[in-house]
A and B are shown apart, each in its own frame.
Chain A
């Protein structure tokens, strides 16, 4: 994916007094935006088969989004009054947000518990968390009937008994917190030493605030479904739903970090420092160990909660068999992690990371889409246009991630601020 050379790492020095204003601006663009290349050279590097394919899908998705905003949601979604939430929220909000817990999980480990082992991946974890939340909000904007009123729960009218009110507040606050948490990398990129210092000084407060917000809204996402006891299938409905969501979000965040860390060592090798690349094996083993513990806890809680609700009788039904697929995955992954850590098998842990991600996405899809309204006949889960929009938004997210990694010191330290931990 990284077709750019290493030129950007070299810093161009121009004596300021010899330059005109226009030259200063063009040099700034050359340095910061075009990776040290001229505009023409930079544009040439963008034309690759993969980029062109991505561009086509993104254009198709943007076209459908435009259609939705001009002619209404029924043009691109199932538009059901039985199942009003479709793929946009199931993917973007309910499946996406657990993985975006990466920021608070790794941030807490490094900045509060002082576990230096995870220092190399902490900036990447915060960036992934921030982008995850940003795109959750973007999916929400596409799905909301009146998206221009998205700020209403904050200022205009308070539905204080609503779990969604809580989610709205917490997602908004946490998105802001994550932007601040990531800002040292942005300020390093822009050479703003003073602002960076200010941002770094707020780290502890932001991290703790982030944990508070994450605990509540990760759990609140599932707690929204507590209000639909007749619609959520009994094998999924339990009063422990919120806490299951929180625990699995920790597992999800670690799985994402295991998988993305591996991918960065393949695709962003020349944007990463040697220290970062050298640390990934050890980081993966550490995360694998923690994941094994977290997912065993999750499995135990899940099984006890089903027993508690007395729902095992539903196993002998088609949905029951489907449930066994999900719970089977959740039973295997902590064992695989455990075995991988025992044998110091980094590859196995990385493969398990992928399986964990699948298990958690399957869980959120089951809860919010696949088995929701299980009693109704002839349910349509989603419209193909929804899937196309989701895929194109995911591609946009990946492209933005790549844009940032190529420019900001995320997988490495900025030469001006070595080893300061941010």
Chain B
């Protein structure tokens, strides 16, 4: 039988759950972003495949020594991903064949999306898009669920499976600490041909478009990352089609928070409608047995 205290219980539950739901919905608002946010631009027409960016990255992030030296170009025989050696590397350069038969190189690393899938996925907000631009990770709150890895469309984050006690999420952090110290990210600094450039995303975008406009024969008319996955912090320009350089093909331009926003906005509706429907049905269909009325006369309808 429903007593008044049951109703209060149900009511309190709805309010508590409603607050919880509301947080979810507020958490997924559209991203406007810091207009001054930093980014990177890779010009694949300039890259010579020297792997100095890989070496600089390794040194700047205190990563373990590679299996073969960074001058060894035999690694190009197979397509590498940034996480090939588990904890080994935050970036990797891959070689592809261009249309004129000459090699084309593409550097792989975190794309530092404007509205990242990994950040949307993280249940504890250990991954965040920092105001300055880099997508960063907080080791002190990560629970190791690896939803970020499941969600990332670029297959970037890697998990330190070999560690039982403090497994880390491994990915490029755009040398966040160096940026804070007023330095340029290590790979951009090491690049001998300015194939990797660092700056504000809006400036880099202008520069990329200017280059395409200035040499229409040298580039295809597209800046990868301007709109992909809702916009990325790391952009690419190229002569070879991006699909031929291992970029994911079906990435789209929808930002990731939008994919689950509709679902999360149903949370409140569901929490409010079920108690009303089911509680209402119960009240309407269940008669009190005789005798209980006498014990609780106060439950009768009052006119105020």
A residues with a Cβ closer than 8 A to B are 68-74, 77, 79, 81-82, 84-85, 108, 112-114, 144-147, 149-150, 152-153, 156-169, 201-202, 204-205, 207-209, 211-212, 215-216, 219-220, 223-224, 226-231, 239, 242
Q: Tell yes or no: B285 within 8 A of A by CB.
A: yes
Q: Are B167 and A158 in contact (CB under 8 A)?
A: no
**A-B interface, 6 closest residue pairs, ranked by CB to CB distance from nearest:** A145-B144, A160-B27, A74-B161, A79-B161, A84-B146, A161-B27
Which of B2, B28, B123, B124 has the most chain A CB atoms closer than 10 A to its own CB? B123
Q: Tell yes or no: B164 within 8 A of A by CB.
A: yes
B150-189 vs A: 1/0 string, CB under 8 Å? 1101010111111110110000000000000000000000
Give the nearest-CB partner of B152 in chain A: A228
How far is the CB of A198 from the nearest CB of chain B, in Å?
12
- Expressed in whole angstroms, the Cα–Cα distance for A165 and B263 within the complex equals 13
Q: Are A163 and B149 in contact (CB under 8 A)?
A: no
Q: Give chain A's interface secondary structure class.
A: helix
Q: Are B143 and A84 in contact (CB under 8 A)?
A: no
Q: Are A227 and B278 in contact (CB under 8 A)?
A: no
Knowing that A216-B271, A227-B260 touch, tell me 19 more A-B residue pairs with CB under 8 angstroms: A70-B164, A73-B164, A81-B81, A112-B281, A146-B142, A150-B143, A158-B124, A159-B122, A160-B27, A161-B119, A161-B264, A162-B27, A162-B147, A164-B121, A169-B20, A202-B9, A223-B260, A224-B150, A228-B150
- Expressed in whole angstroms, the Cα–Cα distance for A108 and B279 within the complex equals 11
How far is the CB of B154 from the nearest CB of chain A, in Å?
10
Q: Tell yes or no: B74 within 8 A of A by CB.
A: no
- Expressed in whole angstroms, the Cα–Cα distance for A212 and B262 within the complex equals 18
- Expressed in whole angstroms, the Cα–Cα distance for A333 and B149 within the complex equals 36
- Expressed in whole angstroms, the Cα–Cα distance for A298 and B146 within the complex equals 30
Give the nearest-CB partner of B141 in chain A: A157
Q: Are A224 and B147 in contact (CB under 8 A)?
A: yes
Give the nearest-CB partner of A242 in chain B: B263
How far is the CB of B271 from the nearest CB of chain A, in Å?
5
Q: Are B146 and A219 in contact (CB under 8 A)?
A: no
- Expressed in whole angstroms, the Cα–Cα distance for A209 and B20 within the complex equals 14
Q: Are A81 and B83 in contact (CB under 8 A)?
A: yes
Q: Are B153 and A230 in contact (CB under 8 A)?
A: yes
- Expressed in whole angstroms, the Cα–Cα distance for A194 and B52 within the complex equals 74
- Expressed in whole angstroms, the Cα–Cα distance for A166 and B275 within the complex equals 19
Q: Are A227 and B120 in contact (CB under 8 A)?
A: yes
| CB contact between B143 and one of A71, A85, A146 (< 8 Å): that residue | A146
With a cutoff of 8 Å between Cβ atoms, the chain A residues found around residue B288 in the complex are: none
| CB contact between A72 and one of B146, B163, B266 (< 8 Å): that residue | B163
Q: Are A113 and B281 in contact (CB under 8 A)?
A: yes
- Expressed in whole angstroms, the Cα–Cα distance for A145 and B164 within the complex equals 7
**Which of B59-67, B202-210, B214-222, B250-258 is found at the contact surface with chain A?**
B250-258
Q: Are A226 and B167 in contact (CB under 8 A)?
A: no
How far is the CB of A66 from the nearest CB of chain B, in Å?
11
- Given A72-B161, A209-B13: A157 in contact with B23 (beta carbons within 8 A): no
Q: Are B123 and A84 in contact (CB under 8 A)?
A: no
Q: Are A164 and B147 in contact (CB under 8 A)?
A: yes
Q: Are A205 and B13 in contact (CB under 8 A)?
A: yes
With a cutoff of 8 Å between Cβ atoms, the chain B residues found around residue A74 in the complex are: 161-162
- Expressed in whole angstroms, the Cα–Cα distance for A227 and B24 within the complex equals 15
| CB contact between A212 and one of B23, B264, B274 (< 8 Å): that residue | B274
- Given A85-B150, A212-B275, A215-B270: A144 in contact with B144 (beta carbons within 8 A): yes
Q: Tell yes or no: B193 within 8 A of A by CB.
A: no
With a cutoff of 8 Å between Cβ atoms, the chain A residues found around residue B143 in the complex are: 144-147, 149-150, 152-153
- Given A69-B164, A204-B2, A208-B274: A112 in contact with B282 (beta carbons within 8 A): yes
- Expressed in whole angstroms, the Cα–Cα distance for A70 and B153 within the complex equals 32
Q: Are A205 and B282 in contact (CB under 8 A)?
A: no
Q: Are A205 and B9 in contact (CB under 8 A)?
A: yes
B6-33 vs A: 1/0 string, CB under 8 Å? 1001100100010010011011100000
With a cutoff of 8 Å between Cβ atoms, the chain B residues found around residue A85 in the complex are: 146, 150
Q: Are B263 and A162 in contact (CB under 8 A)?
A: no
With a cutoff of 8 Å between Cβ atoms, the chain B residues found around residue A168 in the complex are: 123
- Expressed in whole angstroms, the Cα–Cα distance for A229 and B254 within the complex equals 10
B45-87 vs A: 1/0 string, CB under 8 Å? 0000000000000000000000000000000000001010000
How far is the CB of A305 from the nearest CB of chain B, in Å?
14
Q: Are B260 and A84 in contact (CB under 8 A)?
A: no
How far is the CB of B245 from the nearest CB of chain A, in Å?
16
| Interface residues in B114-135 (C-beta closer than 8 Å to A) | 117, 119-126
Give the nearest-CB partner of B23 in chain A: A160
- Expressed in whole angstroms, the Cα–Cα distance for A79 and B167 within the complex equals 12
Q: Are A72 and B274 in contact (CB under 8 A)?
A: no
With a cutoff of 8 Å between Cβ atoms, the chain B residues found around residue A228 in the complex are: 117, 150-151, 153
How far is the CB of B254 from the nearest CB of chain A, in Å?
8
Give the nearest-CB partner of B82 in chain A: A81
Instruction: Report 17 cross-chain contacts, Cβ distance below 8 Å, ordered by A residue.
Output: A71-B164, A72-B162, A73-B164, A77-B161, A85-B150, A112-B282, A158-B125, A162-B121, A163-B260, A165-B123, A204-B2, A208-B275, A212-B13, A212-B17, A226-B263, A227-B121, A229-B153
Give the nearest-CB partner of A213 in chain B: B17
- Expressed in whole angstroms, the Cα–Cα distance for A74 and B286 within the complex equals 56
Q: Tell yes or no: B267 within 8 A of A by CB.
A: yes
With a cutoff of 8 Å between Cβ atoms, the chain A residues found around residue B13 in the complex are: 205, 208-209, 212
Q: Tell yes or no: B248 within 8 A of A by CB.
A: yes
Q: Are B141 and A72 in contact (CB under 8 A)?
A: no
Give the nearest-CB partner of B125 in chain A: A159
With a cutoff of 8 Å between Cβ atoms, the chain A residues found around residue B286 in the complex are: 114
Give the nearest-CB partner of A166 in chain B: B24
How far is the CB of A359 from the nearest CB of chain B, in Å?
24
Q: Are B124 and A152 in contact (CB under 8 A)?
A: yes
| CB contact between B259 and one of A164, A167, A220, A226 (< 8 Å): that residue | A226
| CB contact between A81 and one of B157, B252, B279 (< 8 Å): that residue | B157
With a cutoff of 8 Å between Cβ atoms, the chain B residues found around residue A144 in the complex are: 143-145
- Expressed in whole angstroms, the Cα–Cα distance for A211 and B10 within the complex equals 12
Q: Are B24 and A212 in contact (CB under 8 A)?
A: no
- Given A70-B164, A72-B163, A227-B117: A81 in contact with B158 (beta carbons within 8 A): yes
Q: Are B281 and A157 in contact (CB under 8 A)?
A: no
